[in-house]
Structure 1
Amino acid sequence: MTIGLGDAPGCALGDGDRLDQGRSSLFQTRAGDQLLVALDVDGTLMTYDEFLSDEVRQCVADLRAAGHQVVLATGRPLVAVLPVARDLGIDEGWVVCSNGSVTARLDPSAPGGFVLEHVVMFDPSQALRVMREHMPLARIALEEVGVGYWIDDVFPDSNLHGLNTIVAFEDLCVRQTARVVVAHARTAGPDFGEQMRSLGLIDTYFMIAGTRWMDVAPTGVTKAYALERLRAELGIDPALTVAIGDGGNDVAMLGWAARGVAMGHAEAAVIAAADEVTLSITDDGAVPVLRSLLDVERG
């Protein structure tokens, strides 16, 4: 299913395996409850150099075997989520990609191993012209869902996944997309943010290997937005939702979940949005959280 912009929503670290549970002491489950467990990928399940531990793989497998819905919820495009899902042994279920703009159902019998369930597309043309005015040296990419990106120039090495097709800037302006990605995005003045908001869009900045990047997507389209749609479709009780994340793009998701867990290395704003804090990615902080969910089944 594809929708347009007009349909988008308005919307103390532990030692060893001990969690700082904070507000999530109120989170209660019983054996037999089906959980929706939303997991960020980079910096949560996987290190930034893309190492995934056997402990994470085993926990994910055990949760799925117990009947829970384990959903990868990431800023990665679909084309970059599929290999992570395969590495985790997930070939069925759902993934939320591109920070909530794309939801896909994994199906090993489908072409490419997936079926697009929900995609928020928008016309980026006005936003692209504003970017070109404020950031003339920036490199711009539009996501081509399930394939890769259309780009206006060569991007920094290894930071865009999938097939990258170079096209003229004016060609970018006539394409619909789920997300705009900008590299070498210098900090623009307040007028830029105001212009984005007037177009119904939101700009988010982040760093990769010393390069400043920016994502642009419809306002209100977040991981939380996509996960709530999925939760309702699956009929899972809102009180049985869990999320783990480490980045600014996880804040809404952590607030949405009945049990929101921030990684120990997360910034203060992310931790403030969570119910509890686990260990950092270097200590495989997702593992004790996932084990705690399994302990209910085993208890």
Structure 2
Amino acid sequence: MVSDAAWKPRLIALDIDGTMLDPATQAISAAVKAAVRRAVEAGAQVVVSTGRSTLGTLPILDGLELTSGFALCSNGAVRVDVATREPVSIETFEPGPVLNELTRRLPGAIFASEDIGAGSLVTSKFPEDELHGPQQLATLDELVDHPVPRLIANWVDHEPAELLAAMTGVQLPNCTYTVDHYEPWVTVVPEGVTKGAALEKLRAELGIASEDTFAAGDGDNDIEMLRWAAHGVAMGQAVEIVRAAADEVTGPVAEDGLAAVLDRWFR
């Protein structure tokens, strides 16, 4: 945690859903947009860091009026050049062994594999507000036909607590995964890929000191990012395991908690 009163972050990593965007309204408030804009105008490197696909992230970049820098999508598996809106780095894994394990542990689950820039291959249609972009029906064999950056399992008709219990202590082959506390979802990305790891690579490339980093998030996939940052902030509605990973807890997304924190340094 940063204690210097004169400190100001130079690299600002921001989750989307539940951090900038209020799930209840499906919108980013004017206060949060203005706070992000002030940070950019002050010279900070703002990095949108999300579990969303590239297609789900691009409208957010537009809404924030970001025109340069990078965004990290799919929990860090895909890096996007904000200026060109094109992926510049992609990490993938072979989904076959993972699907074999998940179909055994989560009977009845439906799956989606990311097709970058095109949408998702799905074994059954997901609700439109859960996946971003077109959904193309596919068999399990078609899902494992090629490496993917992200695989999602949705254990429909089960509670998040049931999913947590089913996945406790489970190691999936050659990948990293997170379990959602709000939805019965497992999100799988390549081994070693997290928001925190992707941000550390970017930080080093940009030549920004590790002590000048800030991150804000609310989900399980934000934990490594919050630990990575010199100053990590959890949103007020986050569950305890996420709050424990942060240096500070701000107000919930519905009360513009992110804007309140950024306004300390960027007024």
Note whether the superposition's TM-score is higher than 0.5: yes
Give 1:53's aligned residue: 29
The number of aligned residues is: 260
Counterpart residue identity of residue 170, structure 2: G
Deviations 1:262-284 (A, max 9, x none): 11121111111111121111211
Equivalents in 1 of 2:39, 2:21: separation in Å? 18
Aligned pairs (5 A) from 1:93-108? 93-107=69-83
Q: Kindly indicate whether structure 1 or structure 2 has the higher relative contact order, using CA contacts under 8 Å at least 6 residues apart.
A: 1
What secondary structure is seen at the aligned counterpart in 2 of 1:287? helix
Query: Following TM superposition, by how much is the alpha carbon of 1:24 offset from its aligned partner in structure 2, in angstroms?
Result: 3.4
Counterpart residue identity of residue 252, structure 1: E
Equivalents in 2 of 1:122, 1:212: separation in Å? 22
Counterpart residue identity of residue 211, structure 2: A
* Consecutive unaligned residues in structure 1, runs of 5 or more: 1-22
Aligned pairs (5 A) from 1:169-180? 169-180=140-151
Identity of aligned residues (%): 36
Equivalents in 1 of 2:187, 2:128: separation in Å? 18
Give 2:260's aligned residue: 288
Question: Under a length normalisation based on structure 2, what TM-score does the superposition of the two structures give?
Answer: 0.90
Output the aligned Cα RMSD.
2.0
* Consecutive unaligned residues in structure 2, runs of 5 or more: none
Query: Following TM superposition, by how much is the alpha carbon of 1:129 offset from its aligned partner in structure 2, in angstroms?
Result: 1.9
Give 2:106's aligned residue: 135
Give 1:193's aligned residue: 170
Question: Under a length normalisation based on structure 1, what TM-score does the superposition of the two structures give?
Answer: 0.81
Deviations 1:127-173 (A, max 9, x none): 11222233341111111122211112222342111121112221111
Indicate which of 24, 27, 30 corresponds to 2:2. Answer: 24
Is the 2:108–2:155 Cα contact (8 Å) retained in structure 1?
A: yes
Equivalents in 2 of 1:271, 1:97: separation in Å? 22
Question: Over alpha carbons, which structure has the higher Rg?
Answer: 1
Equivalents in 1 of 2:23, 2:61: separation in Å? 16
What secondary structure is seen at the aligned counterpart in 2 of 1:293? coil
Is the 2:61–2:82 Cα contact (8 Å) retained in structure 1?
A: no
Give 1:13's aligned residue: none
Question: Structure 1 residues 272, 191: closer, same or farther in 2, change over 3 A?
Answer: closer
- Whether 2:232 is the aligned partner of 1:260: answer yes
Give 2:138's aligned residue: 167
Segments ≥4 residues shifted beyond 3 Å: 185-192
Aligned pairs (5 A) from 1:1-299? 23-26=1-4, 28-29=6-7, 35-49=10-24, 50-107=26-83, 110=84, 114-184=85-155, 187=163, 189=166, 193-194=170-171, 196=172, 199-206=173-180, 212-295=184-267
